Each structure stands twice: as structure tokens, then as C-alpha cells.
Chains A and B, each alone.
Chain A
């Protein structure tokens, strides 16, 4: 087991070395290894699949262009993932003026939910819920929940205040809660029909 992991590490080092030399076959191999893992990351930050693939494409170009800057003592997957997130953030900054101002018409009311309620919600449905979030909420939610960043770090990354970050996260959670409850109702009706 440990031996196979060591072999994989050695193979990855060779691949990275070949990528540094610009060998296309090695680049394709690295892409095949990490693209399936990185696409869900990009999907969470994007509005739809097309945008996610654009982020993925930009991210991998940065990976291959700056692969010589990779510190070999760290995780390559973590480094690639960070590049993907940064690509998504850069995209948000570039298009920040194009996003509409978020205005929640409906009154968001907290409702009691339980863990079992959402256990049956599929990956695709959860991803759609996240993608439906307004861009600013989506980013803060992703950075806080999936990247483990603090509000201070998020505020610095998005050039917003910490209060805004906290507010956006709260609103994102409320939206997601409401959408989940809707999904629950739909699922209940389907079960009743059956």
C-alpha cells in the first residue's frame, strides 16, 4: 500500500518534471489526473457548466505556465486547487460590475430543519442550489465552507469588509435553506404520488 503511494508520488514528480520541460504528453496526463477533481470545484464557483469549464481551462493554463513555481515540498493537488479558486476569484473581480445588485424580495424566515431532511438530496441538486446563488453570496459561501477561509481572509480576497462577508454568508445560508425546503416539498409530493 505504502509502496504504491510512493510509486504514485514518484510518477507524479516525473510528470511534473516533464510538464516543466513542456512535454505535451505529460501535460495531458496531469490534466486527466486532476481535471475530474477540479471541475466540481469550478462548478461551485460558476453559474453554469460552461462557465466552470472556462474557469477550469484558465486554471490549467496557469498551472502549466507556472508549474516551475510549484514548491515540491507541498501537495500538488492543493496547489492546483488553489489556482482554480484564484482563477474563479479573478473572473469574479473582472466581471464584478456586470453582476446585478442582490435584492431578496422574499422575506427569509428561519425554519427548523433537520439533518435527515436533506439526506436524500442528490449531488446535482445541491450543486444547482449553490450555482443559483448570487455571485457574491456564492463566492463567500464557497470560500468559507469549502476552502475554510476566515471572514477576514475572505474580505481581503474579495475587497469587501468583514461585515459584508458575514452578511453575505448569512444570506446565502438562508437562501439555501429555503431552496432545500422547496426541494423537500417536491420530493414529498413525488413520494405521495407513488
Chain B
């Protein structure tokens, strides 16, 4: 029975196998129509590499947008900075602690020498301790040269113009002297030693009116040190100087500053005019000179407007320039506090070296029946030693704490493959070669001697597969911490371009021929994601050092059309020297 039925199989196989038949024309028309519809639904179908190209374009456009955004942001910051510079310097760093303080709580005792500044809003005058006075009050000796120099400096600093007495050199003003520019709230004068009047001076007047906690320390130090200071430095000790500068707008002319200049009962005869903004030299007065500020409105008011913190930076600078280190030391905590945040450069380059520990994540390609077997073999026979990578990274600051990072990193990985059996078969060119499957792809190896037939087996020696890639990372890093030490976290992606691949192996009965070791099924590129964190040490202004552990994982396999998909994953420790540009 079975013999006859099996014979039927042969009859049908011989009668039907190998025949050809022409299909009708409508079949191709329908195929074409269907393909057109699929093409319209899937535009990427036409170009196998179009997804990669699209991804590269997307990354490039994103980078360009971020760079452009960074520049725009930088431009806005520059504009703001420029606007800030056009303002009086004193308006920077404005604290909110302005207010009044009762005279009883003021550090200024009654009868101390004071300078008076105008309040642009209410026209009141505020007194501040000018410094230690000696003998003369209310006498004005104008030194023309000094006045001219001072005026120039004042103009240069865009401060409110001060009264100049240059038109009347060496002119002595008496108590009823009318200023040449009555609209000016204050008048700069430098005494030449001529006494106009004398008033009893306090034996030792406190130096300052201290307005707020930050300046209190300055005043305290200054007061403490006043005994050791030279006379001219003592005379400069006035925190109210910046407050005078704060009268940016011209005050309303008042009888005080329009009319005759009155002597203040409490004014020090040697009161130093501290109305010159910013320039410390103006405060380095000649010890022999007697400078008095003649603008007086009223005796020391019981309520004095305290100096504001916004005056502190200039005051500090003035003290510093006058070598009053006691004052600057008090201000240091404030400055340090401002410098404590991360100070990222706008652009930096970082040559890096990385120690890499790599492995391949092997996934079965279910389209192939032998995927499990191949996966087991590759997993069992392959291992990767550590390797070195190097390159250069560029960071562009895109916000206060965030940078965009890209660059070029060259990686060289070696995969060690234990000896294994390989089988000869025809390669894509139709030649019989030993097929060597590994995670990177398929190599067809020709035995150097002898004839190879399909199905022949051979044992390989210990093999090494070298893969070199050029990695183009693109990531965002977020920095936080101090200015000298800070840490960062980063996340990003990268494109890995294959630059070189090579298999070094040997067969038991003869070495392969190099010309036949071209790999197939290895993609020219793959994408990876990366996560990392690091620390940056900035001991110098332009140079920083960074250590950055990072984990890179493949988003796309590095091979194709194989029973397994190989997804490289690399843990690397990256060290670099950041050059701030």
C-alpha cells in the first residue's frame, strides 16, 4: 500500500516541480498599486537608511537650535549687563533693608562730624559721620586743581555732577557763601589750611553712621581701628559716601543748597567730603588738607536714614583701595556667598581620556530558527577586556546651571573569542569559506592551504575582534554645587560611526587569508544613550579638572540580518581637563 502511495508522491513531484507559468498582467498592477499605497503610508520605506539620516538631522537641528538659543540667551544677558552698567554702580546688589533708625541707636553720637546728603525724594538731608575733625568747621578752602580732577573723575563715573569751584580757585567761602551751582546738593572742596571759622571739635568722633547689619561690622571694625589709622584714612571713614551717590536725580533746590552754606553745629571742621563716588583716590586726601563739606541743612537729625546695603560694594571698594583691610574683611562673607554658586563658562573644551569596560547585550532575533543556539555560543565564547578611549568634548552654557555637551571620542574595543568550531559554506560571492559568526557580524575565512568543501569543519584558535568607533555624543549636563567644586549629572545620546573592524584569528590547519575577512552584517553605525554624573574641580580660573563615570547603552544593534542582535553597553570612567574659553 504504502509503496504505491509513495509512488504517487513521486508522480506529482516530477510532474509539477520545476514548471513555470505566466501570471496575468493584473497581478503586477495590483502589486504596484499596493506598493504605492504602502509607500505613501511609510515614506521611510524607500530609503533603508532614512531613519538614521533623519535621526542625525534631528540631532543636528536640535543642536543648532540649542546653540542658537544659547547665543540668544547670552545676548540677553549681555544686554542686561550693559543696562546694569549704565546705572549707577551703587544700584547693584540692592538689599531690601533700607529704613530709618533712631538717633539714639545710631552709632553717631551727637556732635560728631557729619556730611549731609540729599534725599531726592523728600528733599531731606541726611547726616553721616564724616570723620574725625580737628579744628575747623564751616571753613572751605577750595583747591582748584583738586576740584578739577575730582570733577573729571566724577564725570567719568557718571555720577551726579558735583559742585565745582574750579572757576574760583583758592576761593574762600564764608558762612554765607552761595555756591556757584546752587542746584547741586553738595559741594566738593578741599581745604588748604586756611581757617574760616573754628568750632570746637569732639575729641574723638565716631567715624560712621552704620546702617545695616552688613555695614555694622565694617563700622565696628573701623571704629575699633580708628586709633591706629592715619589721619587721612580716618577722615575717609564714611559709609555714607555711597548714599550720597544714590542721589542720582538732581534734588529740588532747597534753601539749604541754594542759599548760603551754613555751618553745622555738629559738623566737623575737618570733615572730609566723601561725595565722590567710586574713586578711592578721592578719599585719600592729603593729611595736611582740611576738607569740609559745607552743605548743611540741619543739625544732626534725630532720625537719620540709614545707609542701605546697596552701598556696601562701593564702600567696600573704597575701603579696600584705601587699604582699610578691616572693612573688606567684613564684606568678604557677603561676596563669598554670591560667588558660591556654580560658575559655568560660556564655552569650554575638555580633552578627555576614558577607561572603558564593555560588554555586549545579546538578544535573539526571532526571525531565525537558530537564534537561541547562536546566542548561547556567542555569550559563552566572547568577552571584552577594558579599553581606552580618548577625544575632546565641547560644552556650551545654555542656562545658569545647564550646558550642552558634544564632541568627538574615539573608542577602540577588542572582543576576545574563545576557540570554537566553524563550518564551511558558500559566502555571498559564491565561494566556499569557513563561516565565523560573532557578535559583530559574520566573517568568511579562507584556509590558506588546501581545498575547502561546503560542510567542512575547522577549529579556530583564540581570536580577537577589533572594533573602532568614532562616538559623537550629544548630551545635557546639569551642574550644581560651589564655584570651586561642583558636581553634575548628564544624560544624552550619541552616534557611533564604525571606523575600523578587524578579526585576528587562525584555523587549526592554516591561517586565514586577510583579504577574505571582510565582515558582513555589521552596521556602519549605531546609536547609544548615556547616563552619567561627575565632579569638576576648578582650582584655576581657566582650567578645571573633571571625572565623569558614565554608562552608555546601545539604542540600536550594531549588527543586522543575524540570528542575534548585539547591543553594546559600556561603562566608562572619563577624566578630562576643562579649558574655559
Contact = CB atoms under 8 A, between A and B. Distances in A.
* A and B: bona fide binding partners: yes
Interface of A: 5-6, 9, 13, 20-22, 24, 27-28, 31, 35-37, 39-40, 43-44, 53, 56-57, 60-61, 64-65, 68-73, 110, 112-113, 115, 118, 121, 123, 126-127, 129-130, 141, 144-146, 170, 173-174, 176-177, 180
B45 A173 contact: no
Nearest to B29: A57
Question: For chain B, which range describes its interface: under 10, 10 to 19, 20 to 34, or 35 or more residues?
Answer: 35 or more
Contacts of B425: 73
A73 B21 contact: no
B13 interface: yes
Contacts of A129: 12
Contact of B5 (A9, A27, A37, A173): A173
B291 to A, nearest CB: 89
24 contacts: A9-B429, A20-B48, A21-B46, A24-B35, A27-B35, A36-B23, A40-B19, A57-B30, A60-B27, A65-B38, A71-B561, A113-B7, A118-B15, A121-B11, A123-B15, A123-B19, A126-B12, A126-B16, A127-B16, A130-B16, A145-B9, A170-B5, A177-B4, A177-B5
B156 interface: no
A53 B24 contact: yes
Given A118-B15, A145-B13, 8 more contacts: A9-B429, A21-B48, A22-B45, A40-B16, A56-B27, A73-B520, A113-B8, A180-B11
Contact of A57 (B4, B31, B561): B31
Nearest to B20: A36
Contact of B45 (A24, A65, A174, A177): A65
Nearest to A177: B8
Contacts of B32: 24, 28
A115 B11 contact: yes
Given A27-B35, A36-B20, A37-B20, A73 B11 contact: no
Nearest 10 Cβ contacts at the A-B interface: A22-B46, A36-B20, A173-B5, A126-B15, A39-B21, A72-B428, A40-B19, A118-B11, A145-B9, A39-B23
A115 B9 CA distance: 11
Contacts of A53: 23-24, 26-27
B565 to A, nearest CB: 13
Interface string B492-536: 000000000000000000000000000010000000000000000
Nearest to A148: B13
Contacts of A40: 16, 19-21
Contact of B430 (A6, A20, A65): A6
Interface string B375-393: 0000000000000000000
Contacts of B367: 69
Contacts of A9: 429-430
Contact of B1 (A31, A64, A69, A110): A110
Contacts of A176: 8, 12
B564 to A, nearest CB: 13
A112 B47 CA distance: 60
B460 to A, nearest CB: 19
B537 to A, nearest CB: 50
B39 interface: yes
B363 interface: no
A37 B4 CA distance: 29
A74 B444 CA distance: 14
A21 B46 CA distance: 5
B8 A36 contact: no
A113 B9 CA distance: 13
A60 B428 contact: no
Contacts of A146: 13, 16-17
Contact of B8 (A13, A37, A180): A180
Nearest to A68: B48
Contacts of A37: 20
B281 interface: no
Nearest to B42: A65
A113 B16 CA distance: 19
A170 B16 CA distance: 19
A112 B5 CA distance: 10
A101 to B, nearest CB: 23
B34 interface: yes
B428 A73 contact: yes
B427 interface: yes
B442 interface: yes
Contacts of A126: 11-12, 15-16
B16 A44 contact: yes
B23 A56 contact: yes
Output the residue of B21, B27, B30, B39 with the most chain A CB within 10 A.
B21
Contacts of A5: 430
Nearest to A129: B12
Given A24-B32, A173-B5, A57 B15 contact: no
Given A73-B425, A112-B4, A28 B19 contact: no
B288 interface: no
Given A37-B20, A72-B428, A118-B11, A22 B4 contact: no
B27 to A, nearest CB: 5
A61 B33 CA distance: 10
Nearest to A175: B8
B364 to A, nearest CB: 15
Contacts of A27: 35
Contacts of B87: none
B426 interface: yes
Nearest to A174: B5
Contact of A22 (B5, B10, B47, B426): B47
A107 B259 CA distance: 140
Residue from the set A68, A130, A173 with the largest chain B CB neighbour count within 10 Å: A173
B7 A115 contact: yes
A61 B31 contact: yes
B76 to A, nearest CB: 47
Nearest to B38: A65
A43 B13 CA distance: 14
B581 interface: no
Interface in B335-364: none
A35 B13 contact: no
A173 B9 contact: yes
A94 B229 CA distance: 103
A73 B427 contact: yes
Nearest to B5: A173
A118 B367 CA distance: 41
A113 B6 CA distance: 11
B451 interface: no
A71 B441 CA distance: 12
Contacts of B1: 110
A52 to B, nearest CB: 8
Contacts of B16: 40, 44, 123, 126-127, 130, 146
